[in-house]
A and B are shown apart, each in its own frame.
Chain A
Amino acid sequence: MNSLDPRVNRLPQVGQPEHVEPKAPLDQFGTFEVFVQPKEGKPFQHEGIVHAPNLEMAFVLAKEAFTRRFQCVSLYVVDTRNVYVSAMTEGNQSVFELIHDTPEQPGEKESYEIFFLTKRGKQHIHIGSVTAATPGEALTLTAKDYKTDKIIYNVWAIRTNDIRFTKPEEQELWLTLPEKKFRDASAYKAGDKLKDFLEKVNN
């Protein structure tokens, strides 16, 4: 390559120029859903996804992709395949009208984290947890335990054990150092310089 960019000219020759080996499926890894707590005392909310080879890497990448600049006090990730999703409703129909009562199931009880979608176009918000043997039972219990007059359009249930939470010692990841102010728009004040310049020009 003959580029204006010296770094580009230094790139080693790899493969055949202009010949692209197509990517294989899952070359970009599976997806993980990311949840962020924006402030102490506020519930976790769904933010989006990252692609990662495993849960641990998903956590690291989620921190980079979703909390680089925005307020965050805690973060967690879960494999997309481990999210149990209810049907989606609209208008005045609450999702609980569609959830059939699952009788109590045999087997070991486990904790599930529950998320509500209260407004279409917004994100899912963490609402609490229930203890159930299956995801179906978890939804039935949610309908009882978290009864509300508000219309809920969609519910997610995630087994608590499938979630990679922020460890207490990781909390300091989000303490922004004072010398990192260059990442904020407020660090770029040139108003005075511009004013002086305009005064000089106009006189």
Chain B
Amino acid sequence: MYGGGNTFEGIKTDSLAQEDPVKLAEFETRIERGEKIEPTDWMPQLYRKQLIRMIEQHAHSEIIGALPEGTWITRAPGFKRKLSLMAKVQDEVGHAQLLYSAAETLGKSREEMINDLITGKSKYSNIFNYPAFTWADSCFISWLVDAGAIVNQLANAKGSYGPYCRALDRICAEESFHLKYGHHCVIYLATGTEKQRQMFQEALNRWWPPMMHFFGPSDKISAHTEVLMKWKVKMSSNDDMRNQFLDMYVPKIWELGFTIPDPLLKKNTDTGRWEYTEPDWQEFKRVINGDGPCNKERLEVRRVAEERGRWVREALKTPKATYVTPLA
């Protein structure tokens, strides 16, 4: 699972000026040819920096994203659902491991990344700063947040950085189970009692605004990312991904007889694009900067986990060990 809408740093126009123009040109033609960049290849500082930032945010999103769903394992309806949800949450944590490893090949150690997560320096997908009130919220996450993540990840898997693409290929294969599981859960609620239907409708009402935020600010206001698109770091614009998600999933939600809480939502048959109420980007900004319903709790849970595991890590540390960057 993964939140799109990476917060890329604004790019200064002179940040490429100190790069070697010959190497830069070689690098760019390689990407144009569709070749992957590997850890030992030359790359511009900006490419390295933005990739670390993106992969790291993705990894944090997997770790933090396991929390709102993880809370429902013990209270999932029935033994089978508990088993499935446990397997799914285990997958998410596993994805984080794969992603941290991919980011590490670029030269940032896992210790630094985890430090930056718990001190609040690094971001993670904003959607996980919202609480999962009921079982239906957990079903919404499993089905639709994962669906959004897949739209994003499938795009990124065609990117230019080899280790990240390889990690994403594995992740996407596992996500197909999450999506099927989530849809299964929602169909059971939708075809169940009135109370069950109402539960999902309420979850949908709560989660729709954060879901619209999920792919990041509208292209009209987001930071300029042309160079990142050219380097195949960012593969699709925020609005394009949002549109693709709506295209694939709004009909499926409507099919089940639920109402999406946006009176303006409709597909423009002329342009083929979806129209919707402009999401509240002020709120998005506010929450991503720490003032959401669960930001504090999410980081505090991570911090407590770190503290409680410290003695184990210390006991296992090998004094002779030296660090080397992993290979691929």
A and B associate: yes
Chain A contact residues, CB within 8 Å of chain B: 1, 3-5, 7-8, 11-12, 14-15, 17-18, 20-31, 33, 46, 48-51, 53-54, 57, 64-66, 68-70, 80-81, 83, 85, 88, 90, 120-121, 123-124, 156, 182-186, 188-190, 193-194, 196-198, 201
Given A28-B114, A65-B98, A88-B40; 14 other pairs, CB 8 A cutoff:
A1-B300, A20-B115, A20-B119, A21-B307, A23-B114, A26-B317, A29-B317, A48-B163, A51-B110, A120-B36, A182-B87, A183-B177, A189-B184, A197-B256
Q: How far is the CB of B98 from chain A (nearest CB, A)?
A: 6
B324 contacts the other chain (CB 8 A): yes
Q: Can you name 10 A-B residue pairings with CB atoms under 8 Å?
A: A1-B297, A1-B301, A7-B74, A21-B310, A24-B111, A30-B322, A54-B318, A83-B327, A189-B184, A193-B191
Cβ–Cβ contact A46 & B324, under 8 A: no
CA distance A51 to B114 in the complex (A): 14
B107 at the interface (CB under 8 A from A): no
Closest to B74 in A: A7
Min CB–CB distance A49 → chain B (angstroms): 4
C-alpha gap A57/B173 in the complex (Å) = 26
Tell me which of A3, A46, A48, A183 contacts B297 (CB under 8 A). A3
**Using a CB–CB distance below 8 Å, which chain B residues touch chain A?**
30, 35-36, 38, 40-41, 67, 71, 74, 80, 83-84, 87, 90-91, 94, 97-98, 101-102, 104, 109-112, 114-115, 118-119, 131-133, 162-163, 165-167, 170, 173-174, 176-177, 179-181, 183-184, 187-188, 190-191, 255-257, 296-297, 299-301, 303-304, 306-308, 310, 313, 316-318, 321-324, 326-328
CB distance from B6 to the nearest CB of A (A): 22
If A27-B317, A70-B170 touch, whether A15 touches B303 (CB-CB below 8 Å) is yes
| A88 and B38 contact, Cβ closer than 8 Å, known pairs A70-B173, A185-B177, A198-B255 | yes
When distances are taken between beta carbons in the complex, the residues of chain A under 8 Å from B104 are: 31, 49
Q: Report the Cα distance A124→B112, complex, angstroms.
A: 28
Residues of A near B112 (CB, < 8 A) are 23
Contact B80 A188 (CB under 8 A): no
Contact present for B188 and A190 (CB under 8 Å):
yes
- Alpha-carbon separation in the docked complex, A81 to B318 (Å): 15
- Contact: B184 with A88, CB < 8 Å? no
Contact residue among A53, A85, A121, A184 (Cβ-Cβ distance under 8 Å from B177): A184
Q: How far is the CA of A54 from the CA of B90 in the complex (A)?
A: 23
Query: Smallest Cβ distance from B81 to chain A, in angstroms?
Result: 9
- Asked whether A30 and B111 contact (CB < 8 A) given A11-B304, A50-B97, the answer is no
Name the contact of B71 in the complex, choosing from A8, A50, A83 (C-beta under 8 A).
A8
Which A-chain residue is minimally distant from B34 (CB atoms)?
A: A121
CB pair B328 A46 closer than 8 Å: yes
Interface SS majority for chain B: helix
- Inter-chain CA distance A156–B163, complex, in Å, is 17
CB-defined contacts of B94 to chain A, threshold 8 Å: 64-65, 68
A69 CB to nearest chain B CB (Å)? 6
Closest chain B residue, CB of each to CB of A27: B111
Q: Report B-chain residues with C-beta under 8 Å of the C-beta of A88.
A: 38, 40-41
CB distance from B109 to the nearest CB of A (A): 7
Task: Select one of B30, B184, B323 contacting A188, CB under 8 A.
Answer: B184
Give the chain A neighbours of B300 by CB distance below 8 A: 1, 17-18
Contact of B323 among A25, A124, A201 (CB under 8 A): A25
B190 & A121 in contact (Cβ 8 Å cutoff): no
Contacts of B256 in A (CB 8 A): 194, 197
**In the bound complex, how far is the Cα of B256 from the Cα of A193, in angstroms?**
11
> Which residues of A sit under 8 angstroms from B90, Cβ to Cβ?
68
In the complex, what distance in Å separates the CA atom of A196 from the CA atom of B114?
48
Q: Are B110 and A28 in contact (CB under 8 A)?
A: yes
Q: Is the CB of B303 within 8 A of A18?
A: yes
3 A-B pairs with least C-beta separation: A121-B36, A53-B316, A5-B71
Which residues of chain A are within 8 angstroms of B101 by Cβ–Cβ distance? 31, 48-50
Given A31-B104, A193-B187, A185-B317 contact (CB < 8 Å): no
Contact of A26 among B133, B176, B321 (CB under 8 A): B321
Min CB gap A6→B, angstroms = 8
CB distance from B186 to the nearest CB of A (A): 9
CB-CB under 8 A from B180, the residues of chain A are 185-186, 188
Is there contact, CB below 8 Å, between A4 and B118? no
A65 touches B97 (CB 8 A): yes
- Alpha-carbon distance A65/B163, docked complex (angstroms): 15
